[in-house]
């Protein structure tokens, strides 16, 4: 089944403890992106990647890192999480020609 898989689905962590949210797609998509969803703000782009080793900042990149060492994987790294990063995170991917993203099921992160 063609899909974007995120792990974990739920995560509670403490301020300052480094964490990684994994994202993997099995559709051979070139483009991948991370969004965060907050009530009343919709979805905002954190980082995106056009291909392996090509990444760029979205609208709200502060406090996040990404890497794209393989085409299928696009992990989101929070080096020192803070409570304002408590949110619902989505990974998405698409082909170079199709502008409609396929989304993962989301990761609900709580930082205490």
Closer to another protein by CB, 72 or 108: give it: 108
Binding range to another protein, per CB under 8 A, among 13-21, 30-38, 62-70, 79-87: 30-38
Smallest gap, in angstroms, from Cβ of residue 84 to another protein?
Answer: 19
The Cα 86–Cα 111 span in angstroms is 5
The Cα 53–Cα 69 span in angstroms is 6
The reply to whether 101 sits near another protein by the rule CB under 8 A is: yes
Q: Which neighbouring-strand residues pair with 75?
A: none
Alpha carbon 39 to its chain's center = 18
The reply to whether 64 sits near another protein by the rule CB under 8 A is: no
> Where do contacts with another protein occur on this chain (CB under 8 A)?
4, 31, 33, 35, 40-45, 48, 50, 56, 58, 90, 92, 99-106
């Amino acid at each position: 089944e063609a899909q974007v898989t995120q792990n974990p689905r739920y995560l509670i962590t403490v301020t300052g403890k480094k964490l990684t949210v994994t994202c993997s797609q099995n559709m051979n998509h070139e483009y991948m992106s991370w969004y965060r969803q907050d009530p009343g703000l919709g979805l905002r782009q954190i980082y995106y990647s056009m291909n392996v080793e090509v990444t760029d900042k979205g609208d709200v990149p502060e406090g996040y890192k990404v890497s794209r060492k393989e085409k299928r994987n696009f992990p989101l790294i929070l080096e020192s999480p803070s409570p304002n990063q408590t949110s619902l995170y989505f990974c998405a991917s698409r082909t170079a020609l199709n502008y409609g993203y396929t989304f993962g099921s989301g990761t609900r992160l709580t930082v205490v």
